[in-house]
Amino acid sequence: MARKPNWLLLGMGIGLPVIGIAFLLRSTSQRGEKSSAPSEGAAKPAAAPPASSAVRPAGTQLIANGVAVSGPDGVPVRTYAVHGVLRFAAQGKPRSRVTELVIHETVSSSVESTVAVLQKRGLSVHLILGPDGVLYQHGDLVRDVLWHAAGHNTSSFGVEVVNPYDPQELRAGLPWTRVIDAPWSWKGKYVLPTLAQAEAVAQLVKWTTRRPAPGIEVPRRWPGLQDGQFKLAAISEAKQPLPGVLAHQYFGHSDGSWLVLYAWLRLEAGLSPAAAYEEAARRATGSTGSVSVRDLIPPAVA
């Protein structure tokens, strides 16, 4: 059970201990404080996007293996190629395939603050999902090895979902309004992502696992689902690359697992967005590390 953030190595498995991307972001996103966490990795900062990038309407395509392909259904997209979004510098040689999708949360309240802290810390990620469900692409999903998930970097692409996570980070005017009791989370309380974010994650999972482009070979596999229980904690199998849909929490951090649960409720249990959101909130409330979904597993799978 990941009730506290575990000290893990990020980047290429080399460097100093940090508390994961999610818990680095709180340093400057809300209070302007300098983080005490050490710098990690060696990613070179890319140039800031031009001021005009926010004016161009969001598109519907993502970039994989250097080619623009139709993205997830109903998810607006802004990319480094079309909209001037910052592109993080890739680490090492271009790769030809990915087999994992890793879902993170940020402990921040905006895409801009997330990017700034990642740059400052030498970390990087392929996608950042804003509170309104708009997806920002910061790296080629296949070719670019980015530093977001330790030993999973070379086999995955990652999405950071902007979320204050900790109720102490909430303030008036932010779109996040739901907090649940969550013994499985960092401090025992968890700010739910917006419904727009949860649904965008589900659509991203659906898109990713349909092999939408050459080199994206992520199976529709849920390593967090074991014996009818959905894990909201670390799983031993995730100590090494594990093809499928992964929460950052599965390898020792405290983020991403609620969103994976929501995606499963949408895509496998067949619930509507509103029903999946409420069901994920209800089942995760008070949980100490896993939630039963046995009653929702399709008969052919159970």
Q: Does the pLDDT at position 76 exceed 60? A: yes
Q: Does the pLDDT at position 298 exceed 60? A: yes
Q: How many CA atoms lie within 13 A of 75 on its CB side?
A: 32
Q: Residue 18: what pLDDT?
A: 32
Fold that domain 20-28+66-296 belongs to in CATH? Lysozyme-like (3.40.80)
Q: What is the pTM of this model?
A: 0.85
What the block records as the tokens of 71 is 């993205």
Task: Provide the pLDDT confidence category of residue 225 given band limits of 50, 70 and 90.
Answer: very high
List the single range of 53-57, 109-113, 275-279 with lowest mean pLDDT: 53-57
List the single range of 22-26, 74-78, 103-107, 136-140 with lowest mean pLDDT: 22-26
Query: What's the whole-number mean pLDDT along residues 107-122?
Result: 95
Average pLDDT, the chain: 85
Residue 124's contacts (CB-CB under 8 Å, 6 or more residues apart) are 41, 43, 88, 89, 91, 118, 138, 139, 146, 147, 148
Alpha carbon distance 130, 291 (integer Å):
27
Q: Residue 14: what pLDDT?
A: 29
Every domain of the chain and the residues it spans: 20-28+66-296
Could you tell me which residue, 269 or 17, shows the higher pLDDT? 269
Q: Does the pLDDT at position 9 exceed 70? A: no
The proportion of the chain whose per-residue pLDDT surpasses 90, expressed as a percent, equals 78
Q: Does the pLDDT at position 39 exceed 90? A: no
Q: Residue 299: what pLDDT?
A: 81
268-280 pLDDT per residue, tens: 999 999 999 999 9
Alpha carbon distance 205, 101 (integer Å):
8
